[in-house]
Amino acid sequence: MPKAIRTDSENNRTTGIAIPRLYYDKPATVEQQVHDGDTLSVRPDGDIGVRLLGIDTPEVSFAFPGPKLTFVDLFDAAWNDYLKTVFDSTKWGPFSSVVPDGLKSWIQAKLYGDPGTVHAAHAKAATDDLRSMITKDMEIMGQDITSFSYYLGFGFEVMDGYGRFLCTVNRNQPKRDVPTDRPPTYNLRMLERGRAFPYFIWPNISPWDRPDSMEKAVIPAGKAKEMADANLELKLARGHVRKAREQHLGIFDSMNPCPLEPFELRFLSRRSLPDRYVIDLSSDGNRLIKPENYYSVSHPEDRLWVSSIYVPFFEKHGWAIEA
* Distance in Å from the first CA to the final CA of the chain: 49
| Span 115-136, average pLDDT | 97
The C-alpha atoms of residue 162 and residue 176 are separated, in whole angstroms, by 33
Asked whether residue 1 carries a pLDDT value surpassing 80, the answer given is no
Asked whether residue 102 carries a pLDDT value surpassing 70, the answer given is yes
pTM exceeding the 0.85 threshold for the entire prediction: yes
Q: How confident is the model at residue 216 (pLDDT cuts 50, 70, 90)?
A: confident
* Confidence (pLDDT) at 301: 98
Asked whether residue 161 carries a pLDDT value surpassing 90, the answer given is no
Single-letter code of the amino acid located at 204: N
Average confidence score pLDDT of the chain: 93
* Confidence (pLDDT) at 8: 73
The domain spans of the chain are 1-48, 52-272
| Span 65-73, average pLDDT | 85
Q: How confident is the model at residue 207 (pLDDT cuts 50, 70, 90)?
A: low
Asked whether residue 91 carries a pLDDT value surpassing 70, the answer given is yes
* Confidence (pLDDT) at 103: 98
The C-alpha atoms of residue 87 and residue 175 are separated, in whole angstroms, by 53
Q: Which fold has domain 52-272?
A: OB fold (Dihydrolipoamide Acetyltransferase, E2P) (2.40.50)
Percent of the chain with pLDDT over 70: 98
Asked whether residue 248 carries a pLDDT value surpassing 90, the answer given is yes
